[in-house]
Amino acid sequence: MDILSPIKDHHSERRLFMGRVILASSAGFLLLAVVIARLVQLQVFDYEFFAAQSQGNRFRIEPVPPIRGLVFDRKGRVLAENLPAYQLELIPEQVDDLDDTLQRLAALALIDAEDIARLKDLSESGPRFKPVTLKLRLSEEEIANFAIQRPRFPGVDFQPRLIRHYPYGEAVAHAVGYVGALSKNDLTRLDASQYAGTAHTGKTGVESRFELNLHGDVGYHNVVTNALGRQIPAESPEMLDSLPSDVTPVPGDNVYLTIDLDLQQVATRALEGRRGAVVAIDPWSGDILALVSAPTFDPNLFAVGMTQSEYGELQNNLNRPLFNRAIRGEYPPGSTIKPMLSIAALETGATNLTRKTMCRGYFTLPNSTHRYRDWKPEGHGEVDLHEAISQSCDVYFYEISVDVGIDNMHDYLDRFGLGHVTGVDIGGENSGLLPSREWKRNYFREPADQRWFHGETVIASIGQGYMLATPLQLASAVAAVATRGSRFKPHLVAATENTLTGKRELINPQRVDEIVLSDDRHWDSVIDAMHEVMHGLRGTARAASLNAEYEMAGKSGTAQVFSVAQEDEYDEDQIEEKLRDHALFVAFAPLDAPRIAVAVIVENGSSGSRVAAPIARQVMDQYLGYGADASQ
Q: Would you name the residues annotated as active-site residues?
A: 335
With beta carbons less than 8 A apart as the criterion, state whether 280 and 478 touch. no
DSSP assignment string, 289-345:
EEEEEES---THHHHH---HHHHHHHHT-TT-TTS-HHHH--B--GGGGHHHHHHHH
DSSP, collapsed to helix, strand or coil, labels residue 165 as strand
Of 88, 95, 87, which Cα lies nearest the Cα of 128? 95
With beta carbons less than 8 A apart as the criterion, state whether 389 and 338 touch. yes
The CA distance from 138 to 116, in Å, is 17
The CA distance from 195 to 252, in Å, is 13
The CA distance from 303 to 165, in Å, is 7
Phi/psi of residue 339, nearest 5 degrees: -60, -40
Q: CB-based burial of residue 126 (10 Å sphere; 0-12 exposed, 13-18 middle, 19+ buried)?
A: exposed
> Who contacts 153 (Cβ-Cβ below 8 Å, separation ≥6)?
101, 104, 105, 146
Phi/psi of residue 512, nearest 5 degrees: -120, 180
Distance of CA 360 to CAs 315, 342, 379, 456, 577, Å? 48, 21, 4, 21, 30
Measure CA 424 to chain center: 11
Beta bridge partners of 288: 281
CA atoms within 13 A on the CB side of 250: 10
Of 563, 607, 600, which Cα lies nearest the Cα of 582? 607
The CA distance from 265 to 271, in Å, is 10
First to last CA, the chain: 142
Cis peptide before 590 (omega within 30 of 0): yes
Distance of CA 170 to CAs 140, 206, 598, Å? 23, 15, 21
Residue 448 CB neighbour total at 10 angstroms: 6
The CA distance from 563 to 462, in Å, is 14
The CA distance from 49 to 68, in Å, is 38
Measure CA 475 to chain center: 19
Distance of CA 608 to CAs 349, 578, 613, Å? 29, 16, 6
DSSP, collapsed to helix, strand or coil, labels residue 184 as helix
Residue 419 CB neighbour total at 10 angstroms: 19
